[in-house]
Chain A
Amino acid sequence: MRRLLVTVGMAVALSACVQTKQYADVEFAPPQGDYQLLVMRPDVTVGSVTTGGMVEPRADWTDTARANIIAALKAQQANRGGKTFILESRDGLASRGVTGEQVAELERLHYAVGSSIALHRYAGANLPTKRGKGLDWTLGEDAVALGRKTGFDYALFLHAEDSFASTGRVALQVLGVAGCVVGFCAPTIGGGGQFAYASLVDLRTGQVVWFNVLQTGTQIAGINMGDIRKPEGAATMVERLLDRMKPGKNVRRAQQAQSR
């Protein structure tokens, strides 16, 4: 029995985690001081994990979480000195001469580029041509044109998903743990967790200069590592995702050389 509990305890300890992994352009210096940041339409989805393990999207939770994340983002950027403009709809830049279609096009382009970054930086399909180059992807002239027209220095693309175990899922989890007593142990059925990524594009060069992926989750249904439906949970996610921007390799080296 004791041995069993130790195993369960280890499983619990191992399965609850928060992970981030960021990449930066070798010359990247985190934006500081007086800069203008454009946040492209944040893509937020919140759902409920059914007893059977499917994620059911929830409109009300999604709306709340989206508002919370936007508020948290504005506060976080103000701390760094930046002025933030959140693009709520694709027509939000019409007064500055950028059509909704151009915004949508850039978002689609970023989706393609971001997928490539995910594949070649995160999924393990590393490219020999990109070795040692940090983050070496660009949105090209379209992004530069957007920056020129609107005066923004950076564009931030944000995607966040969160899900919560339903009562049924939690009950199932309780059964799974209780079953350990009779010799049928299913302590890690899983359910709920966050996945988010942020991508920073320098609108003066078009380069994707910084990219970060956040994953939090437990394999125990019912334990949450954050709740973006609440303001503090959204602030935690924004902090985890954006607050620990590391400079690029060359910049870091230069800083080290200086301090020596």
Chain B
Amino acid sequence: MSAVLNRRSLLAGGGAAVAGLATGVAQARILPRDMVPLVGPGHRPIDKDEQGMWQQMERVEAEIADSNLLIKDSALNSYLRDLIGKVGGPATKDMRIYLARIPEFNAMMFPTGFSVVFSGLLLRMRNEAQLAGVIAHESAHFLRRHQIRQWRDMRKKTDLLAIGTMLAGMAGGAAGVYVGDYARLAQLGAILSILRYSRTLEAEADAMSVKLLADAGYSPNAMSQTWQQLIGEMDASAAYRRKNRDRSYSLFATHPSPEARMADLRVSASEVTVPGRAYDDYRARYLQAIGSIRPMMIDDQVKLNDPGASQYIVETLAQDGWNGLLRFAEAEIWRLRNRAGDDARAAAGYSAAVRYPDAPADAWRWHGIMLQKSGNRAEAKAAYQRYLTIAPNAPDAPFIRQQLQFL
């Protein structure tokens, strides 16, 4: 701390600067009706900065488009294309969507109008309305030109900071005063202000997503339900690890806090709801669309070694009814968690799973193993035989056949 700038003046100045720049701890809610699209169909960049951004993104898209992380299922991909077509506003025809096999809750929109959705998102969504809500949020980033607005905001603020620092330095130099501490404070202010703008844009996308959802006939409450699930999952994950959920200091966050988003989404949803109009969540259609990859997505999640979150996800999905796949996943979580008593829990879980007609082959396999371990040979044999009937070409089929000889 320099002699010129004492702690009190730094705190006072800092407090004022931060209050002035980042009063966004509790930002006012952005209204869905204000969220008009800023691009029409066939938008092309005209300004130099946007052209440069688009050119770089063309290369990025080419890389993503043939990444080996993409899930190639053509029916599912055309389903997702239809979905972005429903909630993409005026730019529906310009948007592309890619599905990547990454077991995380995430989706993103790139400046040129292509979106990447992670398989972890599809796993967590209980119905089409929820997924459409997240996709609508991403569409809103494009429709409201968020990437280029964010870039321009950042450019403006770093420019001002550079000029201001230089001028202040010169003034200080001329007056013989050290202004380095104020310069650092201004730097912090600029960073906070840039982050605040990022949160504002996220709030814009949330507000617009609710509007796009309702316009397309989806239940506009789906988005706040999604955030409720996300909060529950983060809490469950932290609780298992005996930790508190990481609540990063909101001034430094790029997104508003999940709680704030959920609350705003709920109010916005009631605002756009037209009384008397019927909204649907299209659950059956959604389950049919993701049916082919759901076992894989659950398996990816279970193997993340995050039993708190995995169990929360399974239980959330099971609110719409248990089935063989979810029971099997639950048993797998317990088996891999391996706490005291988990083996018995897992055994009970496998035996519950195989009672459902849609139980996966592996449920029969593990059911057999658990029975064999507990000495229940006749039943184990029956379970193994059932496994071989369902999956005669399983990689371990010869091994299981050999086991059968000893039962």
Chain A residues in contact with chain B, CB under 8 A? Answer: 45, 47, 50-54, 56-60, 62, 90, 101, 104, 168, 172, 175-176, 178-179, 182-186, 189
Provide the bound-state CA to CA distance between A175 and B155, in Å: 19
The total of interchain contacts (Cβ-Cβ below 8 angstroms) comes to 74
The chain B residue with its CB closest to the CB of A173 is B166
The chain B residue with its CB closest to the CB of A41 is B59
Provide the bound-state CA to CA distance between A139 and B336, in Å: 39
Provide the bound-state CA to CA distance between A234 and B48, in Å: 22
Counting from the closest, the 10 A-B pairs by CB-CB distance are: A52-B158, A184-B173, A57-B52, A51-B159, A59-B55, A59-B51, A183-B173, A182-B174, A184-B169, A52-B159
Provide the bound-state CA to CA distance between A50 and B155, in Å: 7
B274 within 8 A of A: no
B106 within 8 A of A: no
**Among A53, A182, A185: residue with most chain B CB under 10 A:** A182
Question: Helix, strand, loop or mixed for chain B's interface?
Answer: helix
B188 within 8 A of A: no
5 interchain pairs, CB-CB under 8 A: A50-B158, A104-B63, A168-B163, A172-B166, A183-B173
Provide the bound-state CA to CA distance between A54 and B56, in Å: 16
Contact A52 B170 (CB under 8 A): no
Say which residue of B48, B160, B166, B167 sits within 8 Å of A60 (CB atoms): B48
Give min CB distance, B4 to chain A, whole Å: 14
Contact B170 A179 (CB under 8 A): yes
Q: What size tier do the contact residues of chain B reach?
A: 20 to 34
The chain A residue with its CB closest to the CB of B55 is A59
Mark B139-166 against chain A: 1 for CB-CB distance below 8 A, else 0.
0000000000001001101111111001
**A52 touching B169 in the complex, CB below 8 Å, given contacts A57-B55, A59-B54:** no
**Among A47, A51, A172: residue with most chain B CB under 10 A:** A51
Say which residue of A47, A57, A168, A179 sits within 8 Å of B169 (CB atoms): A179
Provide the bound-state CA to CA distance between A57 and B51, in Å: 8
B108 within 8 A of A: no
Provide the bound-state CA to CA distance between A62 and B63, in Å: 19
Give min CB distance, A188 to chain B, whole Å: 13
Say which residue of B54, B55, B56, B159 sits within 8 Å of A168 (CB atoms): B159
Give min CB distance, B206 to chain A, whole Å: 27
**Among A172, A184, A189: residue with most chain B CB under 10 A:** A184
Contact A52 B161 (CB under 8 A): yes
Say which residue of A51, A101, A185 sits within 8 Å of B162 (CB atoms): A51
**A184 touching B172 in the complex, CB below 8 Å, given contacts A59-B52, A59-B55, A172-B163:** yes
Residues of B within 8 A of A45 (CB): 56
Provide the bound-state CA to CA distance between A182 and B167, in Å: 12
Contact B162 A172 (CB under 8 A): yes
Residues of B within 8 A of A176 (CB): 166
Provide the bound-state CA to CA distance between A116 and B29, in Å: 48
Q: Which of B67-93 contact A (CB under 8 A)?
A: none
Residues of A within 8 A of B155 (CB): 50, 52, 54, 56
**A58 touching B162 in the complex, CB below 8 Å, given contacts A182-B173, A183-B176:** no
Contact B49 A182 (CB under 8 A): no
Provide the bound-state CA to CA distance between A176 and B168, in Å: 11
Contact A183 B174 (CB under 8 A): yes
Provide the bound-state CA to CA distance between A58 and B49, in Å: 7
The chain A residue with its CB closest to the CB of B166 is A175
Residues of B within 8 A of A59 (CB): 48, 51-52, 54-55
Give min CB distance, B2 to chain A, whole Å: 15
Provide the bound-state CA to CA distance between A182 and B170, in Å: 7
Q: Which of B104-156 contact A (CB under 8 A)?
A: 151, 154-155
Provide the bound-state CA to CA distance between A178 and B171, in Å: 12
B66 within 8 A of A: yes
Residues of A within 8 A of B48 (CB): 58-60
B359 within 8 A of A: no
Give min CB distance, A97 to chain B, whole Å: 19
Give min CB distance, A159 to chain B, whole Å: 12
Give min CB distance, B70 to chain A, whole Å: 13
Provide the bound-state CA to CA distance between A256 and B31, in Å: 78
Contact A60 B161 (CB under 8 A): no
Provide the bound-state CA to CA distance between A59 and B198, in Å: 25
Provide the bound-state CA to CA distance between A182 and B169, in Å: 10
The chain B residue with its CB closest to the CB of A63 is B55
Provide the bound-state CA to CA distance between A52 and B162, in Å: 5
The chain A residue with its CB closest to the CB of B56 is A57
Provide the bound-state CA to CA distance between A53 and B53, in Å: 17
Provide the bound-state CA to CA distance between A90 and B166, in Å: 47
Residues of A within 8 A of B62 (CB): 90
The chain B residue with its CB closest to the CB of A43 is B59
Give min CB distance, B111 to chain A, whole Å: 11
Contact A62 B55 (CB under 8 A): yes
Provide the bound-state CA to CA distance between A50 and B52, in Å: 14
Residues of A within 8 A of B66 (CB): 101, 104
Contact B170 A53 (CB under 8 A): no
